[in-house]
Structure 1
Amino acid sequence: MNRAFRKYHRILALIIFLPITLTVLTGMAATIIKEWPIDTGISARFLLKIHTGEIFKLQAIYPILNGLGMIGLIVTGLSMSGLFGKRKQPTSNDSH
């Protein structure tokens, strides 16, 4: 089971790497450009169009796909971590 989650986690990570990275970097850059007096020659509006998927005409589903991808990575990652695995029950001899 752990091997299957590892496989799914790896495939999912490869698929959502670019969209998530693009979302994070453009969100950070747009905030920096809007809040700090830095002239980069790139408008914050253009960066937000990339950030929301509007530039690709995907603004209706881009955030949902990013969110589903991240939820998938969280689920597969947590399942591999063993945090929610079966715990051994103490035997009656251990309590004495």
Structure 2
Amino acid sequence: MKRSFRKYHRILGIIISIPLMLTVLTGMLATFVREWSLSIGVSASFLLSIHTGEIFHLEGIYPILNGIGLIGLLATGLSLSGLFGRKTRQNPKN
């Protein structure tokens, strides 16, 4: 069971890493451009359109896909951690 979860966790991690990294980086850069008036040659509105998926016409589903991917990674990661595994009770010998 753990072997299949490891496989799914690895595949899901690779797939979800690109959109999550894009979301994180564009969100940070948009904040830098707006709040700190950092000039990087790209407008904050363009960065936010990438951040929300609007530039790819995915603004309605992009956050949902990011969320589903993260929930999948959390579920497989927690199952691999052994937090929810069966614990055997050892009976003390009298």
TM-score scaled by structure 2?
0.94
User: Match for 2:71: what amino acid?
Assistant: I
Unaligned runs of 5+ in 1: none
TM normalised by structure 1 equals 0.92
**Matched residue, 1:46:** 46
Cα offset for 1:33?
1.0
- Comparing 5-14 with 37-46, greater Cα deviation is found at 37-46
- Partner of residue 9, structure 2: 9
The structural deviation recorded for 1:38 is 1.4
Which 5+ residue runs of structure 2 have no aligned equivalent?
none
1:42-77 deviation digits (Å, cap 9, x = unpaired): 111100000000000000000000000000000000
Q: Distance in 1 between matches of 2:17 and 2:26?
A: 14
- Find the residue that maps to 2:88 and give its secondary structure: coil
Please give the alpha-carbon distance, in whole angstroms, between the structure 1 residues aligned to 2:81 and 2:6: 10
Matched length: 94
Quote the Cα distance in structure 2 between the aligned partners of 1:29 and 1:90.
Answer: 54
Q: CA deviation at 1:41?
A: 1.5
Cα RMSD (Å) of the superposition? 1.1
Code of the residue aligned with 1:13 in structure 2: it is: G
Indicate yes or no: 2:90 matched with 1:83: no
Aligned amino acid, residue 61 of structure 1: I
Q: Distance in 1 between matches of 2:74 and 2:33?
A: 31
